[in-house]
Amino acid sequence: MSRCKEHSRLTLAVADAGAKVHASQRSLDKAKRTNVDLVPPMALLEAAKSEQRHAIAALSEHEKLHGCVPVACSGPAVSHDYEALRADAQQALVGFLQATLKAGFIAVQSALVVKNEGRTDHFLEARQNARKATESVYTFINLVKDVNQKKEIKNRLSELERLIVTL
């Protein structure tokens, strides 16, 4: 049992469909926050979910009929590549979280500067940007697998939150 080019194509289609669902969900969430008409983003999300279901069904059917091994059950060479991909994804995630925290700290500094200058509108915007940074970190922190990295990020997040409270 092996995998063929069609299996690879179908696997990529499943991944692409999943990305579309994720992007559509983000668009719907944004629409909810901005009080715009929710019907178009909801329709796009449903269409993306339908496309994802079809892609998964096509992949499953192909595996059943053709005898291709599902990716999750494939041999050591594929799992090694998968582990490398997971490691790269973790590294990218940690980098993203660290950059987001850094942006939050910069927003706090900016808020302090404009507060001292009496620029209330800019102060409120900078403080809100710092809060958005903490929200982003909270959204993804549980995806970090390395306990030490997660602890370090949580410590910096706590420090950022303390600074925001003191604004």
DSSP3 helix / strand / coil % (the chain, rounded to 5): 85, 0, 15
Instruction: Give the span between the Cα atoms of 26 and 22, in whole angstroms.
Output: 6
Q: What is the pLDDT of residues 154-164, one digit of tens each?
A: 999 999 999 99
**Shortest CA distance to 123 belongs to which of 162, 161, 164?**
164
Q: Domains of the chain: which residue ranges?
A: 1-74, 76-167
3-state secondary structure of 156: helix
Please check the confidence at residue 44 and state whether its pLDDT lies above 90: no
Q: How far is CA 110 from the centre of its chain?
A: 26
pLDDT in tens, 3-32: 578 877 887 888 888 788 888 888 888 888
pTM of this prediction exceeds 0.75: no
* 16-25, 43-52, 71-80, range with the lowest pLDDT: 71-80
99 pLDDT exceeds 70? yes
Reply yes or no on whether the pLDDT at 75 is more than 80: no
Q: Any residues with CB less than 8 A from the CB of 167 and at least 6 apart, and which? A: 108, 111, 112, 115, 123, 127, 130
Judge whether residue 94 has pLDDT over 60.
yes
Task: For residues 137-165, give the mean pLDDT.
Answer: 95
Share above pLDDT 90 across residues of the chain, in percent, rounded to a whole number: 40
Residue 129 has pLDDT above 70, yes or no: yes
